[in-house]
Amino acid sequence: LTILQKMTDPRLVVISKKDDGIYDAMNKGAALATGDYLLFLNSDDWLYDSEVISKIFENIRQTEYDLIVAKTIIAIKDKVYLQSAYPNSQHEIRGLNIPHPSSFILTDLFRSYQYDTNYKFAGDYDLWIRLLKIPSLEIKYVDIISSCFSLGGISTKGGTEERIAFEVEVSKFLN
């Protein structure tokens, strides 16, 4: 918070308020957003380079997509992995989590669905499943690395039981 408060970019708005968890905080941030698309970067996420957003939107040009998904680099200790999430249907998402640090979602679409704050760890997975059930959902996959994150945040340290239980329920729904 101290670092953010020192930044002088007029586009940056720092708000620190009580929330009821990660997904509640992300929903509150989305409610304040003014852009066409949302991108969520959490405390251990960062953009791959300073030009990545321009590169992605140059790549898609004129068409407006509901969801634009790029590639993510995952850092695990001293190793780096590339994650590509390219499901073409709700059946292909089984075992796959679209990385929110590389997913640009239309602001209005997100506000209609939002993260379910009943989840502490699997809210992102739940959101992707609900979005993929929309028959008219327009997804654009971009072959560009857009973000990086290190394993070790709350979703990788905790929540395994909740995520597994959720995936079991999703599997029942998809089969």
pLDDT score for 89 = 45
SS3 for 148?
strand
C-beta of residue 64 within 8 angstroms of C-beta of residue 146:
no
Q: What is the mean pLDDT of residues 142-166?
A: 66
What confidence score (pLDDT) does residue 162 get? Answer: 52
Whether the per-residue pLDDT at 72 is higher than 80: the answer is yes
Contact present, 59 and 145 (Cβ < 8 Å): no
Range from 26-40, 77-91, 95-109 carrying the lowest mean pLDDT: 77-91
71 has a pLDDT exceeding 70: yes
**Confidence category of residue 169, pLDDT binned at 50, 70, 90:** low
Structure tokens at 126: 């739940």
Pairing, β 139-150 against β 79-83: unpaired
Find which of 60-74, 125-139, 147-161 is predicted with most confidence, using mean pLDDT.
125-139
Contact 12, 29 (CB under 8 A): no
**Per-residue pLDDT tens for 128-147?**
888 888 889 888 888 888 99
Backbone angles phi, psi at 11, to 5 degrees: -80, -15
Residue 153 has pLDDT above 60, yes or no: no
Average pLDDT over residues 90-117: 79
d(CA 5, CA 76): 29
Write down how long the chain is: 175
Q: How confident is the model at residue 172 (pLDDT cuts 50, 70, 90)?
A: low
Give tens-digit pLDDT for 18-33.
888 889 999 999 999 9
Distances (CA, A) of 63 to 67, 85, 139, 169: 11, 21, 11, 35
